[in-house]
Amino acid sequence: MMRRTGAVSAFLLSLSCAACASYPGFGAHGFYIDSAYAPPKDAEALGDYLVARYAAMTNDPREAASRYAASIDTAPESTGIAERAVFSALVSGNYQQAVNLAKKAHGAGNFGTLVRLTLGIEAMTEGKDAVSAAYLTEDGFGPFNRTVARGISAWRILEHDGPEAAEGYLQQTLTGDPRLDSATLYMMGLIQLAAQSDADALETFETLWNSGARLAIGLDAHARLLAANGDRARALQLLKTFQEEVGENAPLETLRREIQAGRDIEVPRLSPRQGAALAVYIPAAALITRTDDDVASVYFVLALALDPDLHEARTLWAQSLEKAGREVESISILSRIPDTSPYYAPARGQIAWALLRLGREQEALQVARQALDQTHDRGLQIQLAEIYRAMAAYEDADRLLSEIIRVDALKGRTDWRLMFSRGATREALDDWEGAEADLKLALQLQPNSPLVMNYLGYAYVDRGIHLEEGLDLIRTALTHDPDSGFITDSLGWAYYRLGRYELAVYFLEKAVELEPGDPTLNDHLGDAYWRSGRKLEAKYQWERSLKLEPAEQQRARIEVKLLKGPDEPAVVQAESDQPLPHRP
């Protein structure tokens, strides 16, 4: 019997290729031209549309764009088809195809938002101000695209009407809440810098910082302005806070070193096109943190059309593609970042991770090592250490992490993330004394980290030591991140190890609801079901776990459990009992 996917493919292929056979006196579909049974005139467009939809669903944006383009030829007035066509072209990274499709659709009276946004950006690159202004009029745009269009328009206004007009335009859209206005305020600050209004720009950036906004590009401009005005101490403090709260950022780390070295710091004065590119990039950078697909890549492609040297857009574009499993395309995009860019080292690290996900482990190591030969970038060293950990090369990881920690100590720096990573590495090496010391120091440095609390608490319970403290750590971690399936699993598995199977089932069921695609969580739930006497359900969970492609060692253990059940004994009872939570 033909597999269902094969049947769908064959059906779509028949629709799209029906025009291949034609005979004298017959129409394109093999019927007499005047036959009552001939398909409607839009049948070919429908076939292309269905194939395009199928290609989009199966993560083939290039084929989707090609088929949508064919649909536009036969049904150019359809807004839905036009929007999907432009979207697919941009997702596939083909900006020029997107522009051509948008022009074709607009020429047929189609005024879709992505069509207009693409044409507005293209008009700006061609210097056609009036045309760009017409396309970017905010009427009809949704909230996200309206923010993008507004930012682009502000830079266009700056170029043709001056800074006061641009700032006044942005002022009209502010709500008064910096948290909601952050993208607009970043644009305003950068426009003020471009117009040499440094005092106003500093006030804008301070407002953003004090509101809790943390954007690397915005902080780069903010810190540069502070340093250029002589307030290097404040600039360094902001950079340190960003590193502690957000994490490592290669360009900001480079800036920090330059400020500390007493070098002259240049303030960014962007051109209108550079600024417009950031107007697209900044909302997209926020979008990528909220989605698990490659939607944000549309906007990184548009940003790069305005400023091809916006290398940070390439790194996030690649990250967006990786979310959709498009690692090969991601590697191609990252490879275009030159070694003169401050984003070169992070990009090489991303390439190494993409290769690792593709199963090309030795190539991944080679890329990271070669890059480190060119630049002794701390962030890249950390990435290489994490690659070692992912490959279970724990001795190499421990050696590299220890070297980074040693160099940090010489500079008076202790990074909780490195202590946590080395602690986890040493646990894998069965060096519990060293692991516990690192994990406790990481928790001391970052006492509210659910990641560290969960790891250390679980390690205690799993070893049957400090049981009460371990449970408290996991429970506290869960209050900080109540929607984490993995922390919920830790609490459930801790109760399992303590022999409290009813509580274990309660939390492990919840964990699987939160992370249904994780093989380990399903495996744990199966164990808890088995110990609770629910053996049929246990086998179902183990079989489900096998379908989720667990690691080979885990697969072997599960296959044994399907034959004879689990044999892990509970540890001992904790010092106190917690009541069973009420089920929702």
* pLDDT at site 421: 97
Whether the pLDDT of residue 382 is over 60: the answer is: yes
Q: Which residues contact 25 (CB under 8 A, 6 or more apart)?
A: 32, 33
Residue type, 540: Y
Q: What is the mean pLDDT of residues 521-535?
A: 95
Q: What are the pLDDT digits (tens) for 57-79?
A: 555 676 666 666 666 665 545 55
Residue 377: CB atoms within 10 Å = 22
Give the DSSP per-residue string, 538-568.
HHHHHHHHHHT---HHHHHHHHHHHHH---P
For the chain, give the percent of residues with pLDDT over 90.
61
Q: Give CA separation, 463 vs 124, 186, 271, 375, 457, in Å.
A: 63, 50, 60, 42, 10
Q: How far apart are CA 56 and CA 134, in angstroms?
A: 31
Task: Write the pLDDT tens digit of every residue in 100-131.
Answer: 989 988 887 777 889 999 999 999 999 999 99
pLDDT band at 228 (very low <50, low <70, confident <90, very high): very high
Residues 127-159 pLDDT 10s? 999 999 999 987 778 888 998 999 999 999 999
- Decide whether 4-111 matches 464-584 in CATH topology: yes
Of all residues in the chain, what percent carry a pLDDT higher than 70? 83
Q: Where are the domains of the chain?
A: 4-111, 464-584
**Residue 501, token pair as written in the block:** 């199977």
What CATH number does the domain located at 464-584 have?
A: 1.25.40.10
Q: Give the pLDDT confidence score for residue 304 in this predicted structure.
A: 97
DSSP helix/strand/coil, 302? helix
Q: What is the pLDDT of residue 79?
A: 54
pLDDT of residue 187: 94
Give me the pLDDT at residue 437, please.
Answer: 97
Q: What pLDDT score was predicted for residue 342?
A: 87
Ranked by mean pLDDT, which of 14-18, 35-39, 189-193, 342-346 comes out on top? 189-193
Q: Is the pLDDT of residue 52 over 80?
A: no
Just give the CATH number of 4-111.
1.25.40
Can you tell me the distance from the alpha carbon of 347 to that of 338, in angstroms, rounded to the nearest whole number? 10
Long-range contacts of 103-107 (CB under 8 A, 24+ apart): 104/72, 104/73, 104/76, 105/72, 105/76, 107/76
Average pLDDT, the chain: 85
> pLDDT per residue over 461-479, tens digit each?
888 899 889 999 999 999 9
Confidence of residue 87 (pLDDT cuts 50, 70, 90): confident
214 pLDDT higher than 50: yes
Convert 91-129 into a string of H (helix), E (strand) and C (coil): HCCCHHHHHHHHHHHHHCCCCCHHHHHHHHHHHHHCCCH
pLDDT of residue 62: 66
